[in-house]
Structure 1
Amino acid sequence: MTKEKNNTLNEEVESETVELTNDEVETVFAEAEDSKDDSTNIDYAAEIQNLTSKLEEADNRYLRLQADFDNFRRRTRLDIEAGEKYKAQKLVTELLPTLDNFERALQIEADNDQTRSLLQGMEMVYRSLVDALKKEGVEPIEAVGKEFDPNFHQAVMQGEDENFGSNIVSAEFQKGYMLKDRVIRPSMVKVNQ
């Protein structure tokens, strides 16, 4: 008999559906909230505050990480641009002594036709070397007659010459060169007092 009663009750429960309106649902939840003790509500508030602070901390870490990444990307881009801009610096630095030797050799006085034709050949090689360096952005630093600038000139001597004013370069011992906007080698100069 109990099985029959259970089946009957189950059928009755299944046949009846309970429909509640939104207001009734809210009332049920409000009553459930009121029935909780105050200590539970305080725990929820503390937990919400804790989670909010953790979320703010995570957001701050994310923003700092994003800023660090942006800075890294910018530095990398600038390094690549500088590498491209000054890619010839090592080669130019190694060629400057050769250029100096050519200039010294071209200052020799030719006393016969063989020496003159040899000097002409050397001058042609020298000009082609200078032209190739100019194409890469290498320019000589002008020194004689210019005001001494420690960014471009290296003073190795001081002297007095009435043809030049004070702090003016009066002689150049070794040419200086720039690659685009970077000094590769400063000019070695004599400065008038």
Structure 2
Amino acid sequence: MSDENNLDEIPVNIISKNEINNLSDDSAQSDTDDITVDELQNLLEIEKQKVKDYEDKIKHVLADYQNLNKKTQSDIEKGVNTKIDEFMLDFLKVYDDFTRAKQVFAESKINTEGLDSILKNMDSLLAKYNVTPIDALGEIFDPHLHEAISIIADSELDSNTITKELRKGYISHKRVIRPTLVEISKK
């Protein structure tokens, strides 16, 4: 049994402090003899260049990340605005129906207070989502804002003057979501 325990032991040589100092002095002397100051300066320049290259890469990666972040935010905002605009187009159909109902009630001398209250709430909702009406009556026709569906001859008005609004148009997020349907004049 004692022979088995001896197999696991590692022989250790005891070295004095003087021998350690002599060994370290010899290795330091041989290392410095192998590398010159010029070689060390060259190595230092190489390492400095590596650091500069890494710094440049980090700057580029950071710039790419910032650009991606801005683009992502912009894409999200555009997507949300597009969905709001789609909803608003459907909402405007209902709004138009209430507006026409109010006109019919007013012509028939029926009380419109209830409809006025509903339309006021709808106007507030449109304003909340930055949907603004396009004022067209008396303006010059602009194909970006208006859609002409009829033309009347009128020598007193300039050509392309809007004489009648047939359906209100709206702008949302600086885009026309529905052009105003208009009647224009021709000389």
TM-score of the two chains, using structure 2 as the length reference: 0.61
Identity %: 26
Question: In the aligned structure 2, how far is the partner of 1:103 from the partner of 1:137?
Answer: 20
Aligned length: 165
Question: Contact between 1:86 and 1:179, CA under 8 Å: does it hold in 2?
Answer: no
Question: In the aligned structure 1, how far is the partner of 2:69 from the partner of 2:114?
Answer: 50
Change (3 A) 1:119 1:163: farther
**TM-fit CA distance, 1:148:** 1.7
Question: In the aligned structure 2, how far is the partner of 1:11 from the partner of 1:132?
Answer: 90
**TM-fit CA distance, 1:173:** 1.7
Change (3 A) 1:101 1:56: same
Contiguous gaps of at least 5 residues in structure 1: 1-9, 35-40
**TM-fit CA distance, 1:146:** 0.8
1:164 maps to amino acid? L
**Which residue of structure 2 aligns with residue 38 of structure 1?**
none
1:75 maps to amino acid? K
Question: Contact between 1:161 and 1:170, CA under 8 Å: does it hold in 2?
Answer: no
Instruction: Please report the RMSD computed on the Cα atoms of aligned residues, expressed in angstroms.
Output: 4.2
1:118-169 CA-partner distances (Å, limit 9, x unpaired): 5443344333322332343322110111122222112233332234212322
Matches within 5 A, 1:75-114: 75-81=71-77, 88-108=84-104
Equivalent residue for 2:141, pick from 148, 157, 165 = 148
SS at match of 1:117: coil
**Which residue of structure 1 aligns with residue 7 of structure 2?**
none
Question: Contact between 2:105 and 2:112, CA under 8 Å: does it hold in 1?
Answer: no
TM-score of the two chains, using structure 1 as the length reference: 0.60
1:160 maps to amino acid? A
2:64 maps to amino acid? D
Contiguous gaps of at least 5 residues in structure 2: 1-13
